[in-house]
Amino acid sequence: MDMNNDTHFWHNAQQHLIRYGGKFEKLIIESAKGSFLYDANHRAILDFTSGQMSAVLGHCHPEIAETISHSSHTLDHLFSGMLSRPVIDLATALTKTLPDGLDRCIFLSTGAESNEAAIRMGKLVTGKYEIVSFAQSWHGMTGAAASATYSAGRKGIGPSAVGSFAIPTPFPYRPRFEKNGVYDWAAELDYAFDLIDQQSTGNLAAFIAEPILSSGGIIDLPVGYLAALQKKCHERGMLLIVDEAQTGMGRTGLLYAFERDKIVPDILTLSKTLGAGLPLAATITSAAIEEKAHERGYLFYTTHVSDPMPAAVGLKVLEIVQRDGLIERARTMGARLQSGLGALQQRYDCIGDIRGRGLLLGMEIVKDRQSKLPDNDRGEAITRACMEMGLSMNVVQLPGMGGVFRIAPPLTVSESEIDLGIDIIRRAIEKTYT
């Protein structure tokens, strides 16, 4: 008997849930541990998306469970005008991991919320209102964050915030600007800002960027791009907001992905990985920007700002990532994963590109590597076959791009789990050829 076919469960789901995007897997997930989910049939499913790209320590990490248990018995929630030791301890520990210029934090619940706080601060401090982001960005589903999101969710809801602009996403696999056969992202960036300057009313406030655009198809900004982007921003009196929802806490093989490019963002946002799957986000900026925002009456009073329980969890996540060498582990396990995917690419012509950093990799499915024509049907078929064989992977499909698998196992993933995932992907691809 298939316990996932619980007619009462699915009837209630159909009758009482608002559908919020895509289709639900026809599974009932009963528990999770480490790199695996377990459905109602007690079947193990290897989780190569870390939940919603968040569970960097794997599912139900014992020290996180202990931290939650302790907080639930001592201090869970407070009036937003009160402070607790976990909040101050996390702010202190987090800023110690960051360069000067990222000195002050506010702790919130979701990535969208942290981006709302950042954009609101950017507008207030600059006295301007125009926000620029990438054409394949995802920064959240709330007001300002949704207005800065271009990869999905823009149809049918009326106008975005006034002053919302997008520039082309730099994409080496499908370059739009070339010089002598080489992708010229600098020329593309120059052209993009020429267009922004022509459209702006003189009120450019900030640019918000992901170091690796995840929902946009795992597009890693070229080396040097962030520095060039920040220069463009500062020349115009804009702030650079870096959104590290998915790249923070070691996932790319650095504690923060922006470190590779040797810049200091004006504002940094963290979420997903900071809480290792629990609702915790942070907006971090300089003392100078915070002082100016405060002087101008910065207001971001929310129900769960500075909540002690999530802060205690974030402090424990930071401790474990650093103590257990998980940043280095993301590099070594990421190299193993990339090597395995590369071997599949040599074998199967439908794998057009492997890209990303550390344990945040993308695999794009095309009709063949020569044409690079998208093959979304095969991408969907591989997704279904993987799930049937016990592997959870997420595929994103965007115009002009093949189905791109976002592959992001926990930082705690083992070598054998990486190898198992690669083998399931191999068998799933093989199935689409038969």
Residues with active-site annotation: 138, 210, 243, 246, 272, 406
DSSP 41: T
CA distance 432 to 388: 13
Nearest CA to 210 out of 167, 169, 243, 251 is that of 243
**Would you say how long the chain is, in residues?**
434
CB 276 within 8 A of CB 245: no
Contact between residue 261 and residue 247 where contact means Cβ atoms under 8 Å apart: no
Task: Give the number of other CB atoms < 10 A from CB of residue 280.
Answer: 28
Token output for 323 = 């103590």
Gap between the Cα atoms of 37 and 150, Å rounded: 31
The residue among 61, 55, 68 whose CA lies nearest residue 310 is 68
Q: What is the DSSP string of 268-299?
A: EEE-GGGGTTSS-EEEEE-HHHHHHHHHTT--
Angle at 147 (CA atoms; ends 144, 149), nearest 5 degrees: 115
